Structure formats: structure tokens, C-alpha cells
Structure 1
Amino acid sequence: MSTNTQLGLSGTVLVWFNMVFGALAAIISLWALLATATDSESPSSLYAAGILIGLAFSAMGYLRWSKRAGKPIKKESKA
């Protein structure tokens, strides 16, 4: 089913952390970007990079989650 890493955490837990905390980082970066939109000295490109990196980690976690080994197999319906 799930493999253990050198840290002792199962692979599915690490994938779940990628999804959740990647999305959280993207949300916080978006909030910071919108909150400081009128400030000319705010690091807008840094916030945009945070959004992209957060979304990338969340997408990587989702893709690994959808291809995990212990996932139940969907049966085709005969309609």
C-alpha cells in the first residue's frame, strides 16, 4: 500500500501534506498580494512566485494522491 520514508512517515501522509500546505501557501501568498496591491514598495513578484510554488506543490501532491497504490479500483457500470 504505502511505503515508509526515512523519516518514518508514510508516503500518503507526505502527499497529503503537499496538497494541503501547498494550497495554504498559495492562499496566503494571494492574500498578501491583494493586501499590498496599492503599496509600490511591496515585493509583488515574490508573492506571485509564492502563489505559483504553492500551486505547484499542491498539484504534485494531487497527482501523486490520484495515482497512489492502495486506491480502490473503479468498476465500470453497465448502462
Structure 2
Amino acid sequence: MGSGSLDAWRREFFSAFDSPGAKASLEPAQHLVHGAVAFARGLGFEPHEEFAQAVEYLGEPTTTCCPWDSGPLVLGCVRVAAGR
């Protein structure tokens, strides 16, 4: 998808809402999307085959913790994923 196509898609998508959407920096968007994919995979779901195309825009997930991730929150997520 070229940048013009992405802009057209964005306008069409947000036309269903009262506002045009809010801009977000890349890091929180990466955290949200890749976190959702990891959560879904933990439940046995794989992303849609076109997700690989979205990664071209989002980039690969990083292994560093985000500033808002606390130690107990991360540990809790690991325990849930491990089934403990």
C-alpha cells in the first residue's frame, strides 16, 4: 500500500466517526498492536495473513519495556502466560 493509499484508507475508516482520530507516536502504537498480537497468540490465534504488511509500517516489536510498564505488571503478565 502506497502512502497515498494509506491516507485514503485512513480518511475512509475515520469517516464513520465524529472526529478524524488522534495522532499517536510510533512507540505506543507498536506496543498496543504487537502486545495484542502476542496476547492473541497466547490464546492460540494467529494474526490475519495481511498483518505482515502492517509490520512494514509499525516495525518489529522491541524487547525493551515501555516506560509505563511496571515490574509487577510485567511479572503478572509472564505468570499468566506461563499458567501460574
Tell me if both proteins adopt one fold, taking TM over 0.5 as the criterion: no
Greater C-alpha Rg: 1
| Structure with bigger RCO (C-alpha 8 Å, 6+ apart) | 1
TM-score by length of 2: 0.31
